[in-house]
Amino acid sequence: MTAALRIATIALASFSAAYAQDVLDPAFAKAPIESWLTERDSAHFQWSVRTIGGELGHFQRLRTRVEVTVDGNEVARRQGHGELVVFVQFSDGDRRRYQAHGSISLEDANDAAAKSNFIYVQNALAMPGDYRVVVGILDTHSGDHAALERSLHVAPLKNDPLPDCWRGLPAVEFLEGVDPPDVWFQPQLTGRLHLPLETRRDTRLELLVNASPSALGPKYRTGQVNNRSIADVVPSLRVLSDLDLKPGTLNVSMFDLTRRQVLFTQDRINPNHEPLDWPRLRAALMEANPNKIDVHELNDQEQNPQFFVEEVRRRLTGGAAPAALVILSGPMAFPHGADIRPIEFEGRPTGKVFYVRYHPPPLRMAVASSQAYLGRRRGFGQSQTQMEVQEPLDALEPLLKPLAPRVFEVYDAGQFRKALAELMKEIGRM
């Protein structure tokens, strides 16, 4: 065995060993849920547990779900003290354990709580396989506790265009129910996708991410914006940052057209040595919050399209190596009178442009509508009606037309997976 092969084998063994162990939650030291399963005199809780899994999620991994439903009467009779703590444990085929916990506060519960159930959800990413799931519940004030056992089957994807991308991942990783932007990135996840990308020659892969809020359209009051596509863009950026180019470099930029600013840049990303810098990216996303836009930043909005054009031009001509430019964006609208001249080049640029366009689920808004009340001789009343808000017509693609971009329309995680497989094939042929 050569020295290089021996080093590679040791590295692979070390990588696998990192996940070949239990992932334990210290909170379980006070919650022996396995023994709770066998207790005949454990407190009777009105509760149920359901396991669901696994569908492909934004992180290009299979997402599973454990739902714990606690009867409202149970919460109401325990009101005022402590909390209900829920413990979730997965065990895989090798009997490795993966643990997490959360809680439902009882401090603010009242008699009205009896009118509805309380639902606690624990989401997790899991590899295909069969799992034993044990869920425990503990009243921290009274000490009452109980446990239930369920099974969970996670089926592999059919006709998977990226069959090797889960190689080396941990069997289970828990998602945290945190606020944006952390919920879009889940920085606690340690597993990285296996996405080697071999190119024919040294290639510069430029990822250009649109974090701009987009207007809902002229039918709605001024200032209403939609930045829901960023919830798709950020997980996909995390996925693409796992690309391992050889030979080549991976650069990332995030821009905000509303402010005409580049919010974040990071060059020469490597999933093994120089991963995406989440603390800096997080700060950029906080800056891109549409609620923080200053009125002075809205001046000269007619120049927004040309700011985008210039950023595209810079990345196509900014290095000696040929560029593959991947644009991640939702549909983007520009104000009336904006300068929408398409990009111009002297000669033909060396490189390819890929536009991954995300379409968020339809947005429904409550709007007042007039309707006649039957049985009344006169008058109309105002009622709330749910109206579907149409996404804006995308104004970015026409700006790119001279570059003949390859456009991928993405409505769900499965379509992004197919787009990613095609991207890798085409970039690999450059």
List the chain domain ranges: 19-154, 180-428
Residue that the structure tokens 């104000």 belong to: 335
Specify the pTM.
0.85
Residue 399: pLDDT band (50, 70, 90) is very high
Fold of 180-428: Rossmann fold (3.40.50)
Pairing relationship of beta strands 195-210 and 323-329 according to DSSP bridges: parallel
pLDDT in tens, 298-350: 667 889 999 999 999 999 987 767 799 999 999 988 888 999 999 998 766 67
- Sign of the dihedral defined by the CA atoms of residues 331, 245, 252, 353, in that order: negative
- Short-list 18, 174, 29, CA closest to 88: 174
Spatial contact of 103 and 78, defined as CB atoms under 8 Å apart: no
DSSP secondary structure of 75-95: HHHTTTSSEEEEEEEEE-TT-
d(CA 313, CA 298): 24
Rounded alpha-carbon distances, angstroms, from residue 372 to 366, 369, 380: 18, 10, 5
210 CB-contact burial (10 Å; exposed 0-12 / middle 13-18 / buried 19+): buried
Beta strands in 62-177 (DSSP E): 62-70, 83-91, 97-105, 118-126, 129-139, 145-154, 172-174
Q: Over 90: is that where the pLDDT of 41 sits?
A: no
Per-residue DSSP letter, 326: E
Spatial contact of 368 and 309, defined as CB atoms under 8 Å apart: no
5 CB-contact burial (10 Å; exposed 0-12 / middle 13-18 / buried 19+): exposed
Contacts of 343 (CB under 8 A, 6+ apart): 309, 312, 313, 399, 400, 402, 403
Residue 409: pLDDT band (50, 70, 90) is very high
- Short-list 108, 138, 107, CA closest to 120: 138
| Domain 19-154 CATH assignment equals 3.30.420.40 | no
Q: Over 70: is that where the pLDDT of 407 sits?
A: yes
What does the pLDDT read at residue 300?
Answer: 76
